Amino acid sequence: MYSRELDGKTYTFGVSGKLWRDALLMYDHQTRSLWSHITGEAIQGQLKGKKLKPLTSIPQIAWKTWRKNYPQTKVLSVGKRESITRDNYADYHKSQRAGVSGTRYTDKRLSNKSLVIGVQVQVKDGADGIDGHDGADGQDGADGQDGADGGVVELGSSQRNPTQKQSQDTGSTFYRAYPLTQFTKNAIINDSVKGVPLLIYHDKESFATAVFKRIVDNKAVVFTSVVGYIAQDNTGTEWNLITGIATSGKYKGQRLERLSAVNIYWFAWARFYPDTTIYRP
Amino acid sequence: MKNYTLILTLLFSFTLYATAADYDNDPIKTLLAFDAIPAITKPQFVPAASAKLDTDAPVIGVTFNDESHAYSLYLLNGHEIVNDVVGGEKIATTW
């Protein structure tokens, strides 16, 4: 899910019919540049090197669960149909085949067709840790991030994995894969990536996936239990993990910051982000 | 549906062309013509109450500024991209 606005212009996208790294390439109608739908980056054409702004969504959820939480939702209708009853890729999903055009590339840490939740975490350079946050780091305002962001980062030094991607003002991006098999007994995982406390939620019933920074009022909270999509944290606050909003308790009415997340086959995630770590309990 | 079978057959036939080296070279492979899979540029929507969807049907859900859209994943198989506007946010939903 990406913004179609870039450098003050609006673009529309089509399907190029081309694959790169076994994944779809989009093209924009305005310049016919080719864009990876995995990274949001143009890899060929006039806009090569430009990157679309990623936006958050719930990448998959059962209709009844979505509707219950967003009763005002509208539903995409194509030719007066809101769905078709069959998944045309069902056979592909059941098979061991990796990539619709086949891939020889494998990262053997997991099997190719393992489903994972892929998470990207931006970590700013030079920001201070959560306990030491005093609002003094001047980087916060500069890039439009809110205050909570700067207060959760542990990298105070220049120590950094040189293989991680960097850009001018966002610092470094770290990648972690959460195998869906980790969620068979418990739908929530409290984790931290480079000092950023995260909550990973995946419900095997509704197949809903959500990833949040578990930071409230600049403090990390720990989630202790979940029933359906209502979770409780260590302050006794109850949170709706579909909307990210606290429904009762100390933090009632507060909203967790959602991170973009994808449900993706391991071979695809690892191919685009070979530096990814894998969550281990 | 026939169209789909053709597309999938074309896709799978390219299995033979993948090589172990392609990770380093990262070639762009052409499988279909531009727009052979038609992206949606003027999406139409219906309210939840009149949507014909199984209760367990998988959807992508987005919400911006109190406006929410749901897209059936099975429907998106045939389109891959929806050019949409939700709560004033111009978005490309990709699947």
Q: What pLDDT is attached to residue A140?
A: 33
Average pLDDT, chain A: 84
pLDDT-above-70 percentage for chain A: 78
Q: Give the residue-averaged pLDDT of B66-89.
A: 95
From B14, B26, B80, residue closest to A15, measured CB to CB:
B80
Name the DSSP class of A41: B
For A3, half-sphere exposure in the C-beta direction (CA atoms, 13 angstrom radius) is 16
> Taking the domains of chain B in order of start, what are their residue ranges?
2-29+37-94
Reported in sequence order, the residue ranges of B3-57 that DSSP labels E, i.e. its strands, are 28-30, 44-47
Domains and CATH numbers, chain A: 5-44 (no CATH), 116-125+169-278 (2.102.10.10)
- Using an 8 Å CB-CB cutoff, list chain A residues near B46: 74-75, 77, 82
CB within 8 Å: A82 and B81: no
Report how far apart, in Å, the C-alpha atoms of B74 and of each of A90, A154, A172, B95 are.
Answer: 10, 42, 35, 10
Q: What is the dihedral of CA B36, B74, B80, B41, to 10 degrees?
A: 90
CB within 8 Å: B54 and A16: no
Q: What pLDDT is attached to residue A51?
A: 96
ipTM over 0.85: no
Q: What pLDDT is attached to residue A164?
A: 46
Best to test chain B binding among A75, A243, A256 (most B CBs inside 10 Å): A75
- Whether residue A244 is predicted with pLDDT greater than 50 in this model: the reply is yes
Q: Give the residue-averaged pLDDT of A235-243.
A: 97
Average pLDDT, chain B: 82
From B23, B70, B91, residue closest to A2, measured CB to CB:
B91
